[in-house]
Amino acid sequence: MVREIRENRSRFFKVKCPDCENEQMVFEKASTVVNCVVCGKELATPTGGKANLKAEIVADVK
């Protein structure tokens, strides 16, 4: 039971790049800088816990 609870703590977000409007998936607790694959704009930066998202969240993928 404890294992089941621990597995579902983090999520993926579908975010939209503010420059080129490309949509891509970003992990909620990203440990590296996440750049847009189309234009290279920085979408998320690590903070030691949850990532600081710099893009609009379109959907929460569970």
Of 15, 10, 9, the C-alpha closest to 53 is: 15
CATH of the domain at 12: 2.20.25.100
pLDDT at 36: 96
Angle of CA points 40, 44, 46, to nearest 5°: 125
pLDDT band at 62 (very low <50, low <70, confident <90, very high): confident
Of 9, 14, 8, 27, the C-alpha closest to 55 is: 14
User: How many separate domains does the chain show?
Assistant: 1
pLDDT single digits (tens) 1-56: 666 666 667 899 999 999 999 999 999 999 999 999 999 999 999 999 899 999 99
How big is the chain by its Cα radius of gyration, in Å?
13
pLDDT at 26: 95
pLDDT at 61: 87
Query: What is the domain range of residue 57?
Result: 2-61
